[in-house]
Structure 1
Amino acid sequence: MNDYLFTNDLIEWKNSSDNPVIERVLWIDEGYVIAFVFDINAKLGFPQPRRVSEILEALSEGFVTKLPNDPWARIVSDEDLTDREKTHRVKAWGIISSLVAQEPSIYYRDFRGSAVKQVVENYNIGRNEEKLVEKTVYKYLRRFWQRGKTENALIPDYINSSGKGENKGFGEKKRGRPRKYRQDLDIREGVNVTEEDRKIFRVAIAKYYNTPKKNSLTSAYEQMVKEYYKDDIRYDKNGVMKSILKPIYEIPTLTQFRYWYQLEYQKNVKKTITLREGEKKFALKHRAITGTSQMETIGPGSRYQIDATIADVYVVSKYNRTWIIGRPVIYVVIDVFSRMVVGVYVGLEGPSWMGAMMALSNAATDKVKFCKEYGIEITEEEWLCHHLPDAILGDRGELLGMPIEKNFIPNLHVRIENAAAYRADWKGLIERYFSIIHGHVKPFLPGYVDVDFRQRGAHDYRLDSRLDIDQFTEIIIRIILFHNNHHHLDTYERDEAMIADDVRCFPTDLWKWGITNRSGRLRTFSEDVVKLNLMPTEKATISAEGIKLKGKEMYYLCEKAIKEQWRERARSGLLSASEKSLKVVYDIRKPNFIYLPSADGRSFEKCFLTDSSERYADKNFHDIEYLIAYEKLQNQKNQGKELQDKVDLVADIENVATRAEKMTGDGSNSNSSNRQRISGIRDKRSSEKAERRVTEGFELAKAENNQDCESPADSKSQALEQPKSLKPDHLGLLRQKRQERKDG
């Protein structure tokens, strides 16, 4: 899209120095002639006008490039901000909100100077302290313009000054919380930990803590102080050598020792536990388990409309195509000015913000890549949209649960407009489009629900279901491509400028003409930034198996989790409840990945499904939830049958035991004492073994029906009838030999 320029685009001007100038496009006039830009790294200065043609010419000649990633983009939610940060943002926004709304006047020096003075005067009325000065207002304005024209751009950079987890330099002044009784000469202020102290700490940990003795950290600290922080030695009356310690205020505290240990050693849990407990114990107990719609619309992006409808088609599951999983919900996002369909989502979510987020995310997605996922090859010219608008109009169903702040989507600064309840006519454009979709699919799709559905004697259309959600989505995409490129808008009211340019009433033509002649509202953001702000959020927990999504038996891993040994620490009980809890974002359609937003909101960690959860790969969350629910249902159904089979098994076992008791009772010699019965068990076992070998021995090619052949019983009887002298008595010989050895 280098042929066009949009609000919030970052353009880098190449020069001979190593510090190229990066400017943000702040505003473009309706005639697409003048654009105001501002250096995003400037300490001083104000927005400057540039001719749009000049920028486009520089882009085509290679003197300027568009930057795909915004270095100031920051994804944060209010719950992650401190009260101090929120207060600062609210204060700054309250000061400049009236100024930044006056575009393009605020970019002109004469108006800006008088407007800023007026804001300062109004703010200071009745104030004797903490008065506002013009310098502060200009600082807020520069920050707002440089960092993406969002309210969150005004959040202070406290995150850059914390230094958490880093070794601080040391000087004369004592760091940390002052001691309560530091005025006492025996306590005083204490000392900072120096590099020499850290060397002693490392030796002490290796010598006294990381050993098979399993000393506590407190014991290791005491041993260290005894050996390395002494002024002298003495001998008691028994001749035992004892250390005379330095004054307490010259010795690092246990808290400092513990803090340093956590900072340097707990990052490698495996090494610490292995040194203390051994490799086997670690492997056993601690390793990881693996009016009109055009009103108030200047051009493309002035307003998008979003709505959802339930498709009149039943679909089947990708897991098992015999499962009918109901009717999908279609979300569509339309640009009001051009009637271009800019975003779509097909799923099972009812009208809610979760489904709407998927459609809005799709609106900012590269459509060539999106269509390719469904086997459709298109060029960029066939579906040009990958931008966010100035405003979005939806109703309560789609926007229910939306994380808006003051009618804006956080970080993206997209204004949200609600249609009144029971006023679908306010979104008549998109409501009419749904009837077009149903008209296209009705004649061709199996499982389509007709008007006679549920009438007595009518055909049950659910049994005709053949399409899964992905196949139905492919059909919807093809309908959208037809609408955008080939559907003539017979009722579109062109204005005089459009008539003069003879603009054809096709959505794609109207979009292109609007970008050239009425641009200024479309805004570009990094695709990842948009998705992180729009994708559903969910709570997750760190466990020994990995990162577990709440309510789902699915586990994930990322490079950070492996590097910092989250699983090992979770299994070893080294993570607190707050450390185990995570907030993740995910795409309903792709369970293969989830994402951990970073603390500064400008990056994320990508997590992958573990091998144990591989069966969920390449399926959407709807199918996964259906599978889990189906398996639970089958388990409950099988409980009754399994219980019955167990009862039958118990009865069979009891029957065998009863028969055994009867047989043993009938054949037992009542004259034999208990001692006689348990004596000679070894000889009796040998005799029993010999008898069983006769019946258990293998005989191949056995002729069972040959009457001339001897049966085992006949052979046994003949063997029993043989003279005793011809049949060696092995047991007798063994008994005789044993008795001879006893007699000596």
Structure 2
Amino acid sequence: MELPRNSVWEFKGSDLAEDGLYRVLDFMHDVASVILFPLKTESTTSRPLAISTEAFIEHVKSRKASKSEFNLPSFLLVAEDNIPEEHIARRNKNYGLIESIVSDRAFVFDYATKKRVPHLAEYAKKVGIDRKALSRLLTQYWCYGQDKMALLPAFSKSGGFGKDRKPTDKPLGAPKQPRTLAIQRAVKYIITDIDKSKFKKALKKYYLKQARLTLSKTYKNMLIDSYSDEVRLANACGTKPHVPTLKQFNYWSKKLFTKDEFVKDRTTENDHLRNKRGLLGSVIKDSYLPGTHFEIDATVADVHIVSELGSQHILGRPTIYIVIDRASRMIAGMHVSLFHASWRAARQALSNSFLPKSRYCKQFSVDIDDSEWPCSHIPKELVCDNGEMIGLQPKKALNPMTKLSFTPPYRPDCKGVVEKRFDILNKEVIHEFLGTTRGGNIVRGSRDPRKDAIYTLKEVTTEIIKAILEHNRSIFDDLAFSSPLLVENDLSPTPINYWKIHLAKHKHELQAALPDDIIARLLPPVTVSMTRSGIHFNGLYYTCSEVEERNLASVARSSGQWRLEARIDENTTNHIYVKLDKSHGFTLCHLLPRSRMFKDKSMYESEFMQDWLDSKKELSPISVTSIDDHKNRQLMTKNAKERSKSSENISFAEKTKNVRQRRKDELKATTNVLQQITESQETVDYSSSNEIVGKVVSLPIGRIRRTKGDPS
């Protein structure tokens, strides 16, 4: 059993000493005794006591004495360099007065066991100090650890720091001092307990409310509620009212209520949790493994864009979806679209995060390997807000793959990792674009950012992809303190290194994603048509090798078109996924050359084209000329019918008689063609017109056409 010198022990139920804390001053082996000094006593001149070592050990074994701790006062817990010189001098002087007597073990034993110790008085007279003062120094020395620092003067407690002084007839604090002798200030008001209760009532009524009145306004309301009679009397007498001042009210408001009460009561619970609570914890304290939590959220980009089909068409601001791994800060997926925050856009971001990225990046002319963005996994839990992900469709699509976790309403701090990524993307990329709104920080009278919009959706998406790749390669100091694997393998604390090393060491919560399953569950479902020109969707035509091998376009031309189930990737028009047969999966179909105008564009451009066509049709469903033509046609028909009534008695045979001659007569009457032909024929010199007219010329006989089955 260890019984070190200067250790602290707590006695409970002992018959040797009163209950309390005791410090072991010394062991007297020659008399087999332990010298103990009582702690936490109100007396300034306490004396030690001596008990036998055997009895002390027995108390320890029987648990009547247990080891404990004694906290030193704060004025002793200072560094030597921070102690003023005058305090050090006083400490050294006091230690010099008792240094020789505390090292005298015989004196200590006598002082602990005898009521009268003449040696103490003799020593006090010898060093020139009062015996009571010497006893107080010994008490302080033994109480605070038998060290020179125990004798440091407690000047920090001077003036009753932290204690309320009782009011008397004399005002506390500095008196009011006039700046000039011509003006005499009012008598200082003495604050009583009644005034304090009035202060407290006014603060609760006016100040500690969400209305957030100022302290000066609260002070005026308090004077109206509690000191109106005094103010009226002073006004009638023409004297200064004897009421508390604003300075006194301000001082006692801080004494009556804590700062924490001011912070909590002057705001809503939601605002306190979001913006004013302490941030002692962290969202990653339980998510240090990749794949434990993915966070997803959307924001409207701070830039206006234009259409690829015409830069004069401003499309507004796109919506950015980000999916990020909470532990590694790795951005696992993204999606930029013209849709507002919805399940339609969110499913695209999720499919992007669950599928390999090389094909996706190639659509935007960013050539990478899958190892440069190695995120194609499904997380253990997906954290999202209480919005588009709470419907039946997201649950139906995602619950078989991962668990959905919803944050409380108006609490973006619960998914602060993805919220911070939006801020990084805006500051580092988007705010440098022409047409940016800079987060709404537009000075009144400045140029409308829509006038400067020049970038298309594809160009903005390309720059965001590059920024995300750079983000995944950036160093984050917090990652170095999240896992020891980075230090053990001498890797920079970047998201991609954190991701790769944890996957290599099999320390993650990720699961592999099946591409066909992701395409079927998450990509937007559409209905396409198999036509003679290929697979038709939204004005675009697609084909694949299976369509050509099975000659499905020819079948559609002969038997009529039919509908097929398909999935589209709204980021590109270059391909779609079509289920050609109910018993097979989805087949990748590519854009046909006849739709080359939409190559390397997003599906929004095809929808824009459909809207553009609809708007043109709505602008001019029929032309004004067609209306006039229709009326003229009806009038002409009416006149023709009236004209034909005169020939109703003539037979059909008579009407069709001599058609050729009538045609010649009509031509001669309406044109000069026949006359010119006749004149040209008259210039030819025929030797005998009668012979020509009567001569028969035989033409060569062609081959006889025989029908199938003819016996000849």
**TM bracket, shorter-chain basis:** 0.3 to 0.5
Q: Which has the larger radius of gyration?
A: 2
**Bigger relative contact order, structure 1 or 2 (CA pairs below 8 A, ≥6 apart):** 1
TM-score, length basis structure 1: 0.45
TM-score, length basis structure 2: 0.47
